[in-house]
Structure 1
Amino acid sequence: MNRDFDLFRTSEDHEEMREALREIARERIAPHAAAVDREKRFPQEAYDALRAADFHAPHVDEQYGGVGADALATCIVIEEVARACASSSLIPAVNKLGSMPVILAGSDELKQTYLPRLASGEAMFSYGLSEREAGSDTASMSCRARRDGDDWVLTGQKSWISNAGVSEFYTVLAVTDPDGARGRNISAFVVEKSDEGFTVGEPERKLGIKGSPTCELHFDACRIPGDRMIGAEGEGLKIALRTLDHTRVTIGAQAVGIAQGALDYAIDYVKERRQFGKAIAEFQAIQFMLADMAMAVETARQMVYVAASKSERHDADLPFFGAAAKCYASDVAMQVTTDAVQLLGGAGYVEDHPVERMMRDAKITQIYEGTNQIQRLVMGRTLVS
């Protein structure tokens, strides 16, 4: 494993983009974040703002009408949006997750069909891998695709699909050879929302990220044209896992943004809150807590940025760094948001302040795109291989 850590430097363009995003997040996303959470609705205001600035799917290459943001720039987009609203940060994050299989392995025709529509904001893209009984063990999926002439017919379901129902396009993994070798008998397809036999279930009732609809996908003899297969038959799981190597980095970025937002709010609060005749920010115990929180957030940010640089170069050790960035940053987000609630005391436990929402939102970053136990398994196997 390459341990050369002199791997990235944010450019002037990166920092200018960060400032533009921070303004958008402050003025057009943050004011709606509490209502989005309370009403459990898709953050349309955020989507409109991000689309107007070409930040809704910044990873799409210029040849398909996108802005061609590199992996680090995409992480900065997600981080800055998550600082204000974690649900809204899933717009660029899930668009990358859903479309990455097409980018990595899709035919030129498939790319030309779907990526320009994603880049323009006409459609969003989601990702269908997990099932009720196939979460961490993705190779045990039961969703089937049966060949019928030039078409494929999908039957089964997918679970925990982010932005389901809002997205027009879905990358869906299904078993195409039930008698084939485990893990090498799965293929990937693009499914469109309008396809006959494809329906979206009711939204899950969740702890956090309530503005991003999470639903099941159901396929009842859903017919898919053969040219919508992504890559070759039997390569679906390999493509799916390659995708996660890249997109776990974006979940790390989301976690950093959530943690930074909580830290920012806590700092402002302790400067204003007075006890025993002075601002509680003057107490050493409070300063030590803030120092530990800030140290952890910055360490997580550096890990994410290094992993993003490796993602951009498709480095061989990306699986380790992607898993490490996601795992560490999400653990940090959970700890920092919990500490932010603690710093606010009773005020942190009520909806009048955003840190309770941030704490609830942070939890999912330890779970989706592979639980942190799975991330440690990925890292451990890399280290001993």
Structure 2
Amino acid sequence: MTSIPVTLDGRGSRIEQPEYDALVEEVTRWVRGPGEEWAEKIEATGTVPRELFDQLKQRGYLSMAAPRELGGRGLAFSQWMGLMEVFSRSHASIRMLVHVLNGTWRAINPHVSAAQREKFVVPMVAGDILVAFTLTEPGNGTGADLSCTVRREGDSYLLSGRKHLITFGVNCDYWLLFARLEGSAGKDGVVALLVDRHAPGVEVEDTSQTMGVHGTDHASLRFTDTPVPVDQRVGEEGDGLQIALGGFLTPSRISVAMSCVGLAERAQELAVDYATTRVTFGKPISSRQAISFMIAENEADIQAAKQLVLHAAREWERDAPQAPALSSMAKMTAVDMLTRVTDKALQVHGGVGYWKSSPIERVYRDARAQRFEEGTNEIQKTVVARDVFARAAQHKEDA
């Protein structure tokens, strides 16, 4: 397999500030206008209309984070995070679409051949094909704890096992799937494969009935000797875990953390609007100390989390060694912040906020998904603690 310059993984691009400012303004207008109209349709039908996907594609919103060499807009990762913040104030399924399609290509691009780049990466960036990240398994933990296995027969791998909680797993074109070479153990036996959605020997169960994030499809998958061409392997045998964790999960965790910031800002906006218009005993409730203190705490919470997320984004952008740990710090801090902010924002609304007619109700439901997206906080804490102890050991060794 051939490799590519580091600039093509999204770290080396950047657009000029005036162009970026105009783009932020454009996306903000779309989120507040058409985005809200689409949100109402999604909640009413429980599905994401194909027309929405097409509109996001036509406006270039599904290829913003990719470098121009791949057909993208060429945003720096930290610039993309500024737009992720804006998109996340919209419906959670809109945020999910732009988050996933602006990121999955990044996992495989440094590891593919030139032919694979043309066949898979360029169409992914263009929004012509949808690739679902397929790692999680029922009955297993994370990372190298995989039961899905492959065995090679000639020019194909035969894939067997189960995956679940796979976002876009029902309606995608390919699954970017991680499995273990039969008989192997540890990280060196993990392979990454692009599995055709319509390959034989696959059972797909739609498991999309979720608490929030309505409209996004989720799948449970079962593979029985499913043939996967060897030329659809990404990287070499043994590269799978590096592709999954470094190429996708590290920047994706930062992106999810920023989505928490954006959604928290939307919750705060709704709470402030309600507090300044709801009148009791002749005064807006914003004049009540209990309410104003909740608003103040939310504001500080949001700003603190946002700065950590931006720091993690900049560190990943420059390929800093602590970027993976910082991504986990940002994610666990931001999801805890979002929990507190949305809870207080709903409390500001009183009983009115509990009804589906209130916008805060949807925000409150959608916020819960981020607590396990790209790994629970318990996983993030494990990553962070491992980094802390490793640096402490290195410090002692150097002393």
The answer for the alignment partner of 1:138 in structure 2 is: 143
The answer for the alignment partner of 1:5 in structure 2 is: none
> Structure 1: 5+ residue runs without aligned partners?
1-7
The answer for the alignment partner of 1:207 in structure 2 is: 211
Q: Does 1:234 align with 2:234?
A: no
Measure how far apart 1:108 and its partner are. Answer: 2.6
Q: Does 1:260 align with 2:257?
A: no
- Indicate the SS of the match to 1:222: strand
The answer for the alignment partner of 1:64 in structure 2 is: 70
Provide the C-alpha distance between the structure 2 equivalents of 1:369 and 1:193, rounded to a whole number of angstroms.
22
Provide the C-alpha distance between the structure 2 equivalents of 1:64 and 1:147, rounded to a whole number of angstroms.
32
Q: Deviations over 1:23-55 (max 9, x none)?
A: 111111112324413432125454233212211
Q: Deviations over 1:216-246 (max 9, x none)?
A: 1232322111111111101211221112112
The answer for the alignment partner of 2:196 in structure 1 is: 192
Provide the C-alpha distance between the structure 2 equivalents of 1:309 and 1:375, rounded to a whole number of angstroms.
19
Provide the C-alpha distance between the structure 2 equivalents of 1:228 and 1:182, rounded to a whole number of angstroms.
22
The answer for the alignment partner of 2:249 in structure 1 is: 244
Structure 2 counterpart of 1:186, which letter?
V
8 A Cα contact 1:273 1:280, kept in partner: yes
**2:154 equivalent among 117, 124, 149:** 149
Q: 1:333 to 1:44 in 2, by over 3 A?
A: farther
**1:283 equivalent among 255, 278, 288:** 288
TM-score (norm 2): 0.89
Measure how far apart 1:140 and its partner are. Answer: 2.3
Q: Does 1:47 align with 2:39?
A: no
Aligned structure 1 segments of 4 or more residues deviating by more than 6 angstroms: none
8 A Cα contact 2:101 2:125, kept in partner: no
Q: 1:321 to 1:13 in 2, by over 3 A?
A: farther
Structure 1 counterpart of 2:376, which letter?
T
**1:27 equivalent among 19, 25, 33:** 33
Identity in percent: 28
- Indicate the SS of the match to 1:58: coil
RMSD: 2.0
Provide the C-alpha distance between the structure 2 equivalents of 1:332 and 1:46, rounded to a whole number of angstroms.
30
Q: Deviations over 1:282-329 (max 9, x none)?
A: 222211111110111111111111111122222111011111111111
- Indicate the SS of the match to 2:179: strand
Q: 1:126 to 1:77 in 2, by over 3 A?
A: farther
Q: Does 1:338 align with 2:338?
A: no
- Indicate the SS of the match to 2:33: helix
Provide the C-alpha distance between the structure 2 equivalents of 1:267 and 1:45, rounded to a whole number of angstroms.
33
Measure how far apart 1:142 and its partner are. Answer: 1.2
Q: 1:350 to 1:287 in 2, by over 3 A?
A: same
The answer for the alignment partner of 2:171 in structure 1 is: 166
Provide the C-alpha distance between the structure 2 equivalents of 1:117 and 1:375, rounded to a whole number of angstroms.
32
Q: Deviations over 1:238-261 (max 9, x none)?
A: 221112112101101111111111
The answer for the alignment partner of 1:322 in structure 2 is: 327
Q: Does 1:308 align with 2:313?
A: yes
Structure 2 counterpart of 1:218, which letter?
R
TM-score (norm 1): 0.92
**2:132 equivalent among 116, 126, 130:** 126
Q: 1:294 to 1:46 in 2, by over 3 A?
A: farther
Matches within 5 A, 1:67-146: 67-134=73-140, 136-146=141-151
Q: Deviations over 1:105-160 (max 9, x none)?
A: 222322221122122221222100000112x3332211111101011111122111
8 A Cα contact 1:145 1:176, kept in partner: yes
Q: Deviations over 1:161-199 (max 9, x none)?
A: 112222212210011142x23222110011122323334
8 A Cα contact 2:62 2:127, kept in partner: yes
The answer for the alignment partner of 1:355 in structure 2 is: 360
The answer for the alignment partner of 1:373 in structure 2 is: 378
Structure 1 counterpart of 2:282, which letter?
G
Provide the C-alpha distance between the structure 2 equivalents of 1:273 and 1:296, rounded to a whole number of angstroms.
24
Q: 1:46 to 1:337 in 2, by over 3 A?
A: farther
> Structure 2: 5+ residue runs without aligned partners?
1-13, 391-399
- Indicate the SS of the match to 2:89: helix
